[in-house]
Chain A
Amino acid sequence: KQEVTQIPAALSVPEGENLVLNCSFTDSAIYNLQWFRQDPGKGLTSLLLIQSSQREQTSGRLNASLDKSSGRSTLYIAASQPGDSATYLCAVFDTDKLIFGTGTRLQVFP
């Protein structure tokens, strides 16, 4: 059974830092991996989608990498800002559904 883990569960950093969020999954036979952002009381916003044949995707200050063989993905956020404060979720598309991790709660303070 596929399991998705995100470490750390929470992270607090000063504004301007570059940071890395980690996502690991137990079964490498995935179709794609998606990173989301969720603000309190809100829905999920899709940040990046990496297909299984890709190694990374970039959008603005965000860069996500995928290493299927080791079952890992990282989300790199450059020059963090207070507006980046949110919970970040990764999810893998496995067989027929997305399986979510429980997220990393990020706080960026001025």
Chain B
Amino acid sequence: DAGITQSPRHKVTETGTPVTLRCHQTENHRYMYWYRQDPGHGLRLIHYSYGVKDTDKGEVSDGYSVSRSKTEDFLLTLESATSSQTSVYFCAISGPTGLRSSYEQYFGPGTRLTVT
């Protein structure tokens, strides 16, 4: 298994509070991704990173921000959590170098977030 961990694995929080999810990799891969998985919508890309301090928006980025200060860590922040952000969040990694499109993506175990 690819060396990807996510923390926390489960979290319950209240509407309006900030939440930060962490993804940590030991593979030294260049690319990192955050997805959310919801019934009826499947998996959707929130943000991705193509290097330290280099990030870009995905399909459903509103209400989320990310940071990558080290190769191994990619943080997802919900500045002010809403009930619509209740979901399962997955981190993924790919590619030691080169084009993103060339490589398999490997997924972490997920974080189940509930916003009450």
Contact = CB atoms under 8 A, between A and B. Distances in A.
Interface of A: 31-32, 34, 36, 42-46, 49, 51, 89, 91, 93, 96-98, 100-103
Interface string B43-71: 11100100000001011000000000000
Nearest to A4: B42
A46 B104 contact: yes
B59 A97 contact: yes
Interface of B: 40, 42-45, 48, 56, 58-59, 90, 92, 100-110
A58 B15 CA distance: 47
Nearest to B43: A100
Contacts of A93: 100-101
How would you classify the secondary structure of chain B's contact residues: helix, strand, loop or mixed? mixed
B105 A34 contact: yes
B104 A43 contact: no
B34 to A, nearest CB: 12
A105 to B, nearest CB: 12
Given A49-B103, A98-B105, 9 more contacts: A32-B101, A32-B102, A43-B108, A43-B110, A44-B43, A44-B107, A46-B106, A97-B59, A100-B42
Contacts of A49: 103-104
Contacts of B108: 43
A44 B90 contact: yes
A45 B106 CA distance: 7
